Chain A
């Protein structure tokens, strides 16, 4: 099954700085999704990038995908305290809708 693994495990930055999180996976994918989870809360879908896309933007979010390296990155620009959360990448299995999640990156944005 796919394994999305994020790094770093934890990231602490000052408000206004950019935050970059990375995700690696092991097998071929059709798409890769990023989610946010505030402490003890639900998962919020941020963005989906397809395997034939290299970069995608949504507001302050920028996601890249490098299928040759089996990796993706999530960039949050001009971070805010409200961006403090855990961020996960998730990949579906081959021919499957089942999502496999990584352990996540815990982002702390200090005001």
Chain B
């Protein structure tokens, strides 16, 4: 069964460093998303991406964040200068855009020291 994959599973970085989180969505899906979950809190929407551009973003997704689909399979989230409060589990998701069923990857646990 097709699935969303994410790498790395765990990323540790120093405050102020740039990180890139990678995702490979399900191959025939057209919509891509990033969500995050701070430990013990709700899953929060960050951004959605369709047709090579951002379609929606939340207040969390400020200038420090960017997304890119550099080729036909990868979807990345970049945090330019990480802060302690960026420590969270980051989930990538994709959907076919017809049913809005969003399928999530296993997540990348980001720890900012």
Known: A97-B33, A97-B48. A43 touches B104 (CB 8 A): yes
The answer to whether B105 touches A42 (Cβ under 8 A) is: yes
Q: Which of A24-81 contact B (CB under 8 A)?
A: 30-31, 33, 35, 40-45, 48
Contact pattern, B 31-46, Cβ under 8 Å of A = 1, otherwise 0 = 1010100000011110
Which of A40, A99, A103 lies in contact with B102, CB distance below 8 A? A99
Taking the complex as formed, is B56 at the interface, i.e. its CB lies under 8 A from any CB of chain A? yes
Question: Which residues of chain B have C-beta atoms less than 8 A from A20's C-beta?
Answer: none
Min CB distance, A39 to chain B, in Å? 11
Q: What is the interface of chain B, defined by CB distance below 8 A to chain A? A: 31, 33, 35, 42-45, 48, 55-56, 58, 89, 91, 93, 95, 97, 99-107, 109
> Which residues of A are at the interface with B, using a C-beta cutoff of 8 A?
30-31, 33, 35, 40-45, 48, 88, 90, 92, 96-104
Closest 9 CB pairs of A and B: A42-B106, A43-B104, A101-B43, A98-B45, A42-B107, A48-B101, A101-B42, A42-B104, A98-B56
15 examples of A-B residue contacts, CB within 8 angstroms: A35-B104, A40-B89, A41-B106, A42-B105, A43-B104, A44-B104, A45-B103, A96-B56, A97-B31, A97-B48, A97-B95, A97-B102, A99-B45, A100-B45, A101-B42
